[in-house]
Amino acid sequence: MASPRRSSASADASAKGAKFLIVEARFYDDIGEMLLEGAKRAFDAAGAGFDLLSVPGALEIPLAMAIALDHASTSGESFSGAVALGCIIRGDTYHFEIVANESARALMQLALARNLSFGNGVLTVETEAQAHVRADCAQGDKGGDAARAALALHRIKRKIGAL
């Protein structure tokens, strides 16, 4: 397997003082904790802050994100971007496809509609062992990758003057 190319979010100070929203699904608590740790590390390295919301599962992430973004907008606050964290493990039924496809579709629709600097760290895996490898900061660090994706889009928006 090829190693992922990771940019260093800390190399650019344009995220200093930025605040991101993390919405995490805690259906698999241990996996969720690893994903969150990776995202926290990435935001800390970039000098960015975050607010955290936890929901039961991946299908609740898009709606919770929309609610939080709407509330922030009406209260005069705003988020520089958002990150979704969670895990969907294939089972014996069609439910996996529904949850994986519909949560990803809703998150992408939300990000596009709002020009949101967004990182998707919702794992879709065959086994719990695969999820642990992808979530672990020392191995896959997909939580960190999701935060770095949101940070990269934030930097692009700042660079082109879209902030």
Beta bridge partners of 49: 19
Q: Known binder of ligand: residue 68?
A: no
- Please enumerate in sequence order all residues whose Cβ is within 8 A of that of 6, keeping only pairs 6 or more positions apart, or say none: 141, 144, 145, 148
| Res 8 pLDDT > 60 | no
Beta bridge partners of 24: 54, 85
Dump strand ranges (E) for the chain: 19-25, 49-55, 81-89, 118-125
Q: Known binder of ligand: residue 22?
A: no
CA-wise closest residue to 103 among 55, 138, 135, 71: 55
What structural domains does the chain harbor?
Answer: 19-160 (3.40.50.960)
pLDDT in tens, 31-85: 999 999 999 999 999 999 999 999 999 999 999 999 999 999 999 999 999 999 9
pLDDT at 4: 61
Q: Known binder of ligand: residue 120?
A: yes
Q: Which of 10-14, 81-85, 90-94 has the highest mean pLDDT?
A: 81-85
Residues serving a catalytic function are: 95
76 phi, psi to nearest 5 deg: 85, 0
Mean pLDDT, rounded, for 19-28: 96
Residues of the chain above pLDDT 70, percent: 91
Q: Known binder of ligand: residue 30?
A: no
pLDDT in tens, 136-149: 999 999 999 999 99
| Res 10 pLDDT > 60 | no
Q: What is the mean pLDDT of the chain?
A: 93
pLDDT at 9: 45
pLDDT at 163: 75
Q: Known binder of ligand: residue 137?
A: no
Distance CA 136, CA 63 (A): 27
Pairing between β-strand 118-125 and β-strand 81-89 as defined by DSSP bridges: parallel
Reported confidence tier of residue 13, pLDDT bands at 50, 70, 90: low
| Res 94 pLDDT > 50 | yes
pTM of the model: 0.92
pLDDT at 157: 94
